[in-house]
Structure 1
Amino acid sequence: MDKRLFCFCAGVSTLILWPWLPDWDWWLPLALLGGLCWRARPARACFLFGVLWALCYSHWQLSWLQHPGLFQRSQIIAGTVESVQHRDHGSSRLIVSLKSLDGQVFSPRPRVLLSWYGAAPAPGQGDLIHTVGRLYPPHGLHNPGGFDGARWLLGQGITARGYLSGSLHLQAAPPSRRTLLLEEFRGLTAALPAQRWLLALSFGERGDLQQQDWETLRALGVSHLFAISGLHIGLVAGLGILAGRLAGRRFLAGGLAALLALGYAWLAGFSIPTQRALLMLLLWLALVGWGRFWSGRRILLVTMALLLASSPWLALNQGFWLSVLAVAALLASAGWLGGNSLWRLQLGLTLLLLPLIMLLFGGISWLSLPVNLLLIPLFSLLFIPLLLLACLLLVPFPGLALLLLRLLDALFAPLMEGLQWLSQGLSPWLALSAHSQGALLLAMLVLLAALLPKGRGVAGLALYLLLLQLWPRPSWEVRVLDVGQGLSVLVTQGREALLYDTGNRFPSGFNMADAVILPLLGHLGIDRLEYLVVSHDDSDHSGNRDYLAALLPVAHRRGAWPDGQHCRAGQTEQWGRLRLRVLWPVAPSGHSNNDSCVLHLSDGRLAVLLTGDIEAPAERALLATGQALGAQLLLSPHHGSRSSSTEAFNRAVAPEWVVHTAGYQNRWGFPAAEVVARFERQGVVQLTTGDHGMVHLAADGDRWRLVNPRRPGAWYHRLNAWLNDTKPLE
């Protein structure tokens, strides 16, 4: 049974790796193959049935995206608000279950993520809305080291995103009992400094936690303590079992455990992590009550199979794998290290989850083990029991509940101050580049294989791959980042870097520095910039200049800086093997498109021309100066606007490659059809960051080599091609 369950889960999980979404017609051969294999190879049949179910489910959920005109115009949206995430500056994000779209009803009901702006309060959970909005496919920015938005959306069951643009008709839902209890809790704790932590631990409401709070939790490896999941549900169930056994009633123990776990999951809003933990717990309690024994491995596999059968896209959810692998690591630790002592289990959990945490979060915390050994008993034996008792007393005895909450506040205040001191004073978080992560993982594989019987072959392969990590890199590389509608280009020589423009920063607080640039620099192991060049003052180019300069050492500031060296035609500088030439402007101001800093970088054989937002007048004036403009790689001026990239300018540059830095389905229609046609007539290879993701080119002698010839990643990164009926791998 275990083997069949495992194979079914593995079959569903293959959707993480599919390079494209197979056609719907594949269901028939998969079903026939599974049927033929059932008697002789039932495990193989379960694997095929898992693949079949993932395929059918994906087409079923995505079928509504092929509705004609869905993404070409605004739509009348009617639906129910499932959840609300409040953000800074009055904006909010709503997850909405669509009832209809322009009167068209879809089955199943799609889930969409909508942005809400404005001074009016956002709709609440459970409200029925009728409004005008614009939808887009579940597309995300794609850059190494950055957040995978497309995968996150589908992992949450969200198949489109958009924003509300018209008047809102709202039918407010009557407040639920949980909502009333939450408001009562907020009112009682309004004056307590630790309110945000108490809300996170009791109701799973983590929206009030600040960026510094999350950085502290990540640095110490204790984020899981403030996300209600298996640890908390198991603890509450354990209290119920203990109470039942003290009363001498076996069935009472199981009933109390289930009741308390259900109550805590209800408080947390039945979030996905609590659902997983609750299902596993109820399954175990049912088996105990039935008098049957299943191993922890089988309970885990049954839980996984049930969850993936109900929603195969959970395989795209990082939280799902973190919780599943955490349970698997606990089971392995208990068997591997022997005994059930806390320090042994925590040691095994830390070691076994180390590779996953490193890959997901780009680093490790060297303080994680001792801090968890201290905090897990503290949370288990003191904080959570007191907090749940306070929640039970909220309605019948609010005064007594307030006393308990004040006691918890008095305990939390010094604790969190101490954790912040540890985080800031000792800097326990070790950020690792992709190169370092690969080397460390392979080194661990070598050691593990050496300890296993007949593991010499695996150890030899891992050692060979480890040596490949030392293979020399290209002399210099250019990465045109996918920053939506904006510009940011990273030029590197080894670990030395020049950043040209910084992408946008939005009133909501979202910015391309945190979302794209800093994760990429960390991924590459770059912790300083030799040059930070800002072409001009437009926010989609300069929005993060001050923020980046405050976080990173910058040796030279060029261009549109209040305190930097302005760009002026004729400036030259040698940077390693590259010669930097400023070609424009003649009289710098940095306040307009045609004042953009035009930068030419060359090693004598290859060159790249960075043009900012210059338009036709600046292009003509630049040609009139008589400077050499030739470059094999060109960043199309002004994102490919029709006001730029004149025929004469294109001929003077004579590029082999041109990159249009245009956002996906941007409202200006960049790159303009006329511009694309001009470069096509010239025989130039064209790439657009919004469609391709980050464009990465490496110097290879006297030519550029495209490192990522197509949009990287799995099928969910290329849904636009699927919607447009293009070939699977295009």
Structure 2
Amino acid sequence: MVAFSLFFTLGVWYLQQQAALPVLPVYWPLAALVLLLPRAQRKELAFARRTAVLLCAALLGFCYSAWIAQLRLSDQLPDEWQGKNIVITGVVAEMPREHERGLRFAFDVDGVQTAGAHVPRHIQLSTYDEDSNDPLELNAGERWQLSVRLKQPHGSSNPYNFDFEAWALERNIRAIGYVYAKGDNRILAEQTSSPAYLVQHLRETVRSHFQKTLGEAPYAGVLAALAVGDQSGISQDEWLLFTRTGVNHLMSISGLHITMLAGLVFAITFWVWRRSTRLTLWFPARKAAALAGLAAALFYTLVSGYEVPAQRTLYMVATCTAMLLLSRTFSLSQLLSAALMVVLLADPWSVLSPGFWLSFGAVALIFYVTGNRLKKQHWLKEYGKVQWAMMIGLIPPLLALFQQLSLVAPVANAFAIPLVSFVVVPLTLLGTLPPFEWMLYVAHEAMVLCMYLLQMLDQLPYVVWAQHAPPAWTVVAGIGGALWMLAPRGFPMRPLGALLLLPMFLVAPQQPAAGSARLVVFDVGQGLSVSVQTHAHALLYDTGPDFSGEADSGSRILLPALRGMGIAQLDTLVLSHDDVDHIGGTKSVLLGIPVTNVVSSLPNRHPELQFAAHNEACADGQSWEWDGVRFEMLHPAAAHAVQAAEHDNERSCVLRIGTGQHSVLLTADIEKLSESRLLKLHPDALPATFLVVPHHGSKSSSSPAFVDAVHPRYAMFTSGYLNRFGHPKDEIVERYRAAGSQILRSDEDGAVSISMDAQDFKVERYRASHARYWQQGIRPAVAGS
């Protein structure tokens, strides 16, 4: 069973790496052939049959997940209805959550009033208060008529980044959009009788109870997240603290909390049940306790929002309960294998989630270091052994998935796990009941103590180890080394397992050779950010947009990508001009990675420069050379460095990067006035192999004379998907196409990587090189202002 489940998992994982779904009728009969294979008596035939069974297990996993994917992808928003007004009716399917400008919520569509329109059954909507004089007040379970504008799920596509489109598919969110404030939006019914919506209404009631009871208490948001899964009340600084100290898994509805609660209910029920002879004779105490633990896990999972990570834990608990009720004797590996199969059957996309690998890996490690060991130890020593196993055994997956480790995580988890799981969570859940609301204050004080201790740890000199993404073979070797080190006492030369961990730290990505450069034009939506790497130096040009008060492209996109690529520090950060879509991630970058020098057109006292160790103004005439690669600043004029121009766009820092016969021109948001200046003063420097098109393809830039002078082989438009400005404009795109340029767009191609030296120039589109079947094709252009 263990081998079968592992090969089934391999098949599911392999399907999720495909660029297109297979034609299933060809594969299903082949997978079913294993059922017809006779049992063989001879060893060589038995081996052949076992091999066939395992191969068919992988094929079954592949076919099953492909079939489920086809069913889910069949319900999607048609291209022609993207961005159009559509009137729909349906139910607010979950507790609305606040964002910086309104509410965000899931909506189940049960009717479409607009003739000819098709809307998927499950969508995600947002409201924006500034668009309406009378903001909507929506509650879970209410039935509404809404006028909406939708688009297909689309996220940024960058190396070492979160895949929003895969996340949306896993949660069956087949369209996203917003409520059109000027439409006919009205409530149709205050409550529906569906049990699922009643649970959501209960969650919202609990959250309101928390807000009323705790008021402005500093960690009320953390308690709400632990009780009902609403993480909107946890600030970005708090998440950063949790991540740096390695306890972020505790501050949401994690599998650990559900398991702990189920175990606690199991223990209490077992203790009470076995003291009644009548109850024990009627039904075994252990089975009754298992059912009670499963009920507690189900209740907590539902109240927390039935999120996918919680579902995985629930399925594992249900599998354990089923095996116990069937009175089957099973090993720990069989138990984990059965849970693995149940999770994958319920959610084939779980293999894409880091939480899937970390949760199953952590449980497997616990079984590995505690199961089937002859010597019984004191519980405190056993707990220490488990913490040691987590610290060593999770190094390979953490480096592979996140490229960083919390060095204080073992200490932080040693006190945070029992404090949060056994004190904060139980008291918080009891505090949801009106008679016991006073327990919320006790839970909050316990959380205050936990946060104080975490903040003390965070002040230590070395808290986080961050590095490059390790090659796959080093991760495999590291896993083997960790298992060797954690093997039972008596296993030969256990300390030597540490040697197999070293390649993950020592084998770094290959740096560009002298005289060559590697660039990445990131997909940051409507904005710009470009990294430049030479043999021994690194530069970042702009930092992309600020998405909200709690999220920006610096923390969400750039830092993970830079870390994964092996860029540990920046020699220069260029901030082209004072537009939020170009410098919105600056604070996160300056706080997250060492930056030697900042070059910008911003005033010296600009807020974004307060964390810069050294900064200077960009100006025409600046130039330098790194490792045989030439950097030249062509704009703005020196006078503009100290005196603002008529428009921020015209002060944009224009940077030319060249080696041999190839060059890249970064123009930010310059408009026709600046283009004229460049044509007059730098006509010889303008021809470029690769051009990041000015101002995202706006009509105010890319004059015919400028396009003819640059005459790029590649013209890259950095524009957001279906952005409200309508960038890039069709006539600008056609202007570059007519000039012979190959058109690249971040909203269609994702991040674009460039490798260049004196002779060669190579371009790679991330959406093409890492294509997945859930990604949509090229989107239609949308008219805009």
TM-score of Structure 1 vs Structure 2, range by shorter chain:
0.7 to 0.9
Does residue 113 of the first structure (1) align with residue 124 of the second (2)? yes
**Partner of residue 291, structure 1:** 327
- How far did 1:144 drift? 2.0
- How far did 1:427 drift? 4.2
Q: 5+ unaligned residues in a row in structure 1: which ranges?
A: 725-730
**Partner of residue 168, structure 2:** 153
**Once the two structures are superposed, what CA deviation does each residue of 1:597-617 show, in whole Å capped at 9, x if it has no partner?**
322222354322222223344
Match of 2:632 among 557, 562, 581: 581
**Partner of residue 728, structure 1:** none
Task: Figure out how many residues of one structure are paired with residues of the other and give that number.
Answer: 711
Match of 2:567 among 526, 535, 545: 526
**Partner of residue 727, structure 1:** none
Alpha-carbon contact 1:647-1:678 (below 8 Å) kept:
yes
The farther-off stretch of 268-277 and 356-365 is 268-277
Does residue 210 of the first structure (1) align with residue 207 of the second (2)? no
**Once the two structures are superposed, what CA deviation does each residue of 1:658-701 show, in whole Å capped at 9, x if it has no partner?**
22222223344433333333333443333212211111111233
- How far did 1:66 drift? 6.2
Alignment of 1:310-329 (within 5 A): 310-329=346-365
The farther-off stretch of 620-629 and 475-484 is 620-629
**Once the two structures are superposed, what CA deviation does each residue of 1:446-501 show, in whole Å capped at 9, x if it has no partner?**
74799999xxxx99999999997575524322221111111222222245222222
**Once the two structures are superposed, what CA deviation does each residue of 1:568-622 show, in whole Å capped at 9, x if it has no partner?**
4334444553333332334523534344332222235432222222334432342
The change in CA–CA distance for 1:320 and 1:96 in structure 2 (over 3 A counts) is farther
- How far did 1:355 drift? 1.9
**Partner of residue 757, structure 2:** 700
The change in CA–CA distance for 1:144 and 1:300 in structure 2 (over 3 A counts) is same
In 2, the alpha carbon distance for the partners of 1:639 and 1:314 equals 36
**Partner of residue 82, structure 2:** 71
Does residue 39 of the first structure (1) align with residue 36 of the second (2)? yes
Secondary structure class of the residue paired with 1:8: helix
In 2, the alpha carbon distance for the partners of 1:354 and 1:193 equals 33
- How far did 1:141 drift? 0.6
The farther-off stretch of 97-106 and 475-484 is 97-106
**Once the two structures are superposed, what CA deviation does each residue of 1:373-432 show, in whole Å capped at 9, x if it has no partner?**
3333444554444444444xx24xx2xx24433333333322321111212334422122
**Partner of residue 352, structure 1:** 393
Alignment of 1:249-398 (within 5 A): 249=280, 250-251=284-285, 252-335=288-371, 341-391=382-432, 394-395=433-434, 398=435
**Once the two structures are superposed, what CA deviation does each residue of 1:16-75 show, in whole Å capped at 9, x if it has no partner?**
211x1225xx12111222233432344433432332222222222122336362325232
Amino acid at match of 1:113: Q
Amino acid at match of 2:11: G
Alignment of 1:407-486 (within 5 A): 407-434=442-469, 441=475, 444=478, 447=481, 469=508, 471-474=510-513, 475-486=516-527
Secondary structure class of the residue paired with 1:618: helix
In 1, the alpha carbon distance for the partners of 2:484 and 2:320 equals 37
Does residue 80 of the first structure (1) align with residue 97 of the second (2)? no
In 1, the alpha carbon distance for the partners of 2:372 and 2:683 equals 70
In 2, the alpha carbon distance for the partners of 1:702 and 1:37 equals 55
**Partner of residue 10, structure 2:** 10
**Partner of residue 600, structure 1:** 656
Match of 1:169 among 183, 186, 190: 186
In 2, the alpha carbon distance for the partners of 1:337 and 1:658 equals 63
**Partner of residue 404, structure 1:** 439
In 2, the alpha carbon distance for the partners of 1:349 and 1:287 equals 27
Does residue 677 of the first structure (1) align with residue 755 of the second (2)? no
Does residue 138 of the first structure (1) align with residue 179 of the second (2)? no
Alignment of 1:491-640 (within 5 A): 491-494=532-535, 496-507=537-548, 509-545=550-586, 548-549=589-590, 553-563=594-604, 565-586=616-637, 587-588=639-640, 589=644, 591-625=647-681, 627-628=683-684, 629-640=686-697
In 2, the alpha carbon distance for the partners of 1:65 and 1:256 equals 40
In 2, the alpha carbon distance for the partners of 1:610 and 1:556 equals 19
TM-score (norm 1): 0.86
Amino acid at match of 1:524: M
The change in CA–CA distance for 1:82 and 1:477 in structure 2 (over 3 A counts) is same
Does residue 226 of the first structure (1) align with residue 251 of the second (2)? yes
In 2, the alpha carbon distance for the partners of 1:472 and 1:549 equals 23
- How far did 1:202 drift? 3.2
The farther-off stretch of 42-51 and 442-451 is 442-451
Identical-pair percentage: 29
In 2, the alpha carbon distance for the partners of 1:403 and 1:356 equals 41
Alpha-carbon contact 2:165-2:774 (below 8 Å) kept:
yes
Alpha-carbon contact 1:691-1:711 (below 8 Å) kept:
no
In 1, the alpha carbon distance for the partners of 2:450 and 2:498 equals 44
In 2, the alpha carbon distance for the partners of 1:29 and 1:461 equals 42
Alignment of 1:124-135 (within 5 A): 124-135=139-150
The change in CA–CA distance for 1:681 and 1:462 in structure 2 (over 3 A counts) is farther
The farther-off stretch of 654-663 and 691-700 is 654-663
**Partner of residue 611, structure 2:** none
In 2, the alpha carbon distance for the partners of 1:463 and 1:258 equals 42
- How far did 1:562 drift? 0.4
**Partner of residue 62, structure 1:** 73
Secondary structure class of the residue paired with 2:129: coil
Alpha-carbon contact 2:688-2:710 (below 8 Å) kept:
yes
- How far did 1:158 drift? 1.8
In 2, the alpha carbon distance for the partners of 1:222 and 1:507 equals 24
Amino acid at match of 1:580: F
Alpha-carbon contact 2:717-2:728 (below 8 Å) kept:
yes
In 1, the alpha carbon distance for the partners of 2:703 and 2:204 equals 60
The change in CA–CA distance for 1:461 and 1:433 in structure 2 (over 3 A counts) is closer
Alpha-carbon contact 1:150-1:716 (below 8 Å) kept:
no
Amino acid at match of 1:520: A
The change in CA–CA distance for 1:2 and 1:560 in structure 2 (over 3 A counts) is same
In 1, the alpha carbon distance for the partners of 2:299 and 2:321 equals 16
In 2, the alpha carbon distance for the partners of 1:92 and 1:617 equals 41
Secondary structure class of the residue paired with 2:231: coil
In 1, the alpha carbon distance for the partners of 2:618 and 2:437 equals 62
In 2, the alpha carbon distance for the partners of 1:647 and 1:146 equals 37
Alpha-carbon contact 1:84-1:92 (below 8 Å) kept:
no
Alpha-carbon contact 1:499-1:529 (below 8 Å) kept:
yes
The farther-off stretch of 331-340 and 82-91 is 331-340
The change in CA–CA distance for 1:449 and 1:208 in structure 2 (over 3 A counts) is closer
TM-score (norm 2): 0.81
